[in-house]
Amino acid sequence: MATTQSKCGAPTKSGGSCRRRAMVGTSRCELHQGPWSPYGVAKRKAEEAKKKLKQRRKK
């Protein structure tokens, strides 16, 4: 199955558009996707879960 990954295309500070490939399931690349993206949310949740685990262990 050939998946065609779209390009990020986010505006860069230099005035161009990002040439990185967008992450699968998102419309932005790893650099430009925000915390609202599925990838970012999953990452944040994982980090929060780790923090909670540490807090529980301290008790």
Contact flag: residue 37 with Zn ion (CB under 5 A) = no
- Min dist CB 22 to Zn ion, Å, is 7
First to last CA, the chain: 49
Indicate the residue type of 4. T
Please pick, from the candidates 7, 20, 27, 40, the single residue that binds Zn ion as defined by CB under 5 A: 20
Rounded CA-CA distance 11/4 in Å is: 21
Question: CB 10 → Zn ion: shortest distance, Å?
Answer: 4
Instruction: Report the DSSP beta bridge partners of residue 17.
Output: 11
Q: Which of 18, 27, 39, 40 binds Zn ion (CB under 5 A)?
A: 18
